[in-house]
Structure 1
């Protein structure tokens, strides 16, 4: 019997960095009762090439009623004409021909931007540039401990208690699983910042919760979070305004534990509200729960400073 694979991308587009590189998670589900070995691959769209994409562990065993996540990395070579491109992910059973059991995701796009050639830095200024980088890094580390309006030239830091966003959060559950989000008080030997965390009680792959975060200025921001792991926590990804940022976070742990701030990724944002979505893409534990916890959310502005000529 042919497995009717289901392939879902975590977002509708790749978010590319200034070098036109990015990554996106695809989840492949096995709706049948018998385990099967799946092969995941990428179909590049018009004008693109398969060599631009890398798939980590493209062949895996998927248990019946289970799912696995594949991380696809994209690196667009220099000189590629700037425009919008697209691709799809597809999966098929390893013991059959691709055309017999192949199933595809929806179309995923990515915007390639023109990359300016690197400027030659006069050797006279290398020492000054290195010293400037050290100053910027030091300032950034110091500012992680405080918010508010910074001094001129210093980065802004926006830190939010995730549980404070629960009241205005929206939950989506494509399979109508009954997923909910609550503010959970300290539990299980863990003390969260503010004595609570955002606790998302997902019950199926595709369940997601979206909160809104206000960004104070246009710019490039480093996104980081404090997460919780537990025995019934799922694998999740973040998207911001519909574009995935960073890779999948593996939520499973034998006991309840809180992480330190973990860098998720860097994203270009405009001043104003932005939708931050936590989406379930899989699990490693053998329960029917797809839970997730977020203690704090932080955006740190990346400030570009120029060396005088």
Structure 2
């Protein structure tokens, strides 16, 4: 029997401090007579990210006719455009699919304010002007550099629309599932870069898809990606040339969402082709789907800084 969870926020909005941080309590009640284990999570609204929120002890046992409280902490990163944002809390039974037992709170808002910069003394204004001159010169040098090569000391950046790599992609499935990969057009209220994403329809743990990316020079590179989350998306990891890079990405959210660029990890690569693999390692939901989506991938060269003598 499915538990009909009730999720209530302690207030209709977060109260943020001058650093745009705050916290709010959500109460989850079990109206049934039998105890059940609940999982509580956050669904960020448009323009926000799940990484802004922290949930203390997100999985708890709730006795019949009982309730538990979850403390959600919010820390909005510096540079976030000032405006009103929103989120919802949702809860589902740990032993059932979220789509079967998930219940949400009402919409909770929070107002992000512009953080006033510290007062600058005149010498800071002079330094800022000098820095601006250097930036203008640097931009001029970059624009005059031949063949798109960066100016000395500037990092190379390789940005690739993931769907452009579908042709030539290689799929492996240890369970011989009928996993597939394709270019999915904009869907479900989400607009991807280039109006498409790489859409991997895995069907089992261990399913994987590998694409090839060209790296223009020997060096150390920071790997990042724009990912998609949804109700039937799996937990995945990236590997480059057979070696895992970064941790596990959790693919489940109640609705389809697109992330910003997320740092995956740093890796040493030689000039030439490299194999980037997306591997299914698990799932949160109880469906038979192990899907995954990648919008864009990016490699940014890490340039060593000269040591002053």
Q: Deviations over 1:25-69 (max 9, x none)?
A: 999999999999999999999999999999999999999999999
* SS across alignment from 2:278: strand
Q: Is the 8 A contact 1:12 1:243 kept in 2?
A: no
Rounded to whole Å, the distance in 1 between the matches of 2:246 and 2:211 is 17
1:306 deviates by 1.2
Distance 1:252 1:194, change over 3 A: same
Q: Deviations over 1:217-275 (max 9, x none)?
A: 00000000000000000000000000000000000000000000000000000000000
1:308 deviates by 3.1
TM-score, normalised via structure 2 length: 0.55
Matched, 1:34 2:34: yes
Q: Is the 8 A contact 2:43 2:253 kept in 1?
A: no
Of 269-278 and 2-11, more deviation after overlay is shown by 2-11
Distance 1:197 1:27, change over 3 A: farther
1:133 deviates by 18
Between Structure 1 and Structure 2, how many residues are aligned?
A: 309
1:156 deviates by 0.1
Rounded to whole Å, the distance in 2 between the matches of 1:118 and 1:269 is 41
Of 256-265 and 27-36, more deviation after overlay is shown by 27-36
Of 98-107 and 251-260, more deviation after overlay is shown by 98-107
Of 261-270 and 50-59, more deviation after overlay is shown by 50-59
Of 192-201 and 88-97, more deviation after overlay is shown by 88-97
Of 146-155 and 82-91, more deviation after overlay is shown by 82-91
Q: Is the 8 A contact 1:147 1:157 kept in 2?
A: no
Distance 1:235 1:95, change over 3 A: closer
Q: Is the 8 A contact 2:145 2:151 kept in 1?
A: no
Question: Equivalences for 1:61-76 in 2 at 5 Å?
Answer: none
Rounded to whole Å, the distance in 2 between the matches of 1:301 and 1:14 is 39
Distance 1:189 1:87, change over 3 A: closer
1:187 deviates by 0.4
Distance 1:288 1:51, change over 3 A: closer
Distance 1:272 1:199, change over 3 A: same
Q: 5+ residue gaps in structure 2?
A: none
1:152 deviates by 1.4
Distance 1:142 1:293, change over 3 A: farther
1:150 deviates by 1.1
Rounded to whole Å, the distance in 1 between the matches of 2:51 and 2:59 is 18
Q: Is the 8 A contact 2:236 2:249 kept in 1?
A: yes
Q: Is the 8 A contact 1:82 1:113 kept in 2?
A: yes
Distance 1:48 1:179, change over 3 A: closer
Q: 5+ residue gaps in structure 1?
A: none
1:153 deviates by 1.2
Rounded to whole Å, the distance in 2 between the matches of 1:10 and 1:162 is 41
Q: Which has the larger radius of gyration?
A: 2
Correspondence for 1:81: 81
1:305 deviates by 1.7
Distance 1:188 1:302, change over 3 A: same
Distance 1:196 1:89, change over 3 A: closer
Of 33-42 and 100-109, more deviation after overlay is shown by 100-109
Q: Is the 8 A contact 1:179 1:200 kept in 2?
A: yes
Matched, 1:302 2:302: yes
Rounded to whole Å, the distance in 2 between the matches of 1:143 and 1:243 is 36
- Name the structure, 1 or 2, with higher relative contact order (CA <8 Å, separation 6+): 1
Q: Is the 8 A contact 1:13 1:243 kept in 2?
A: no
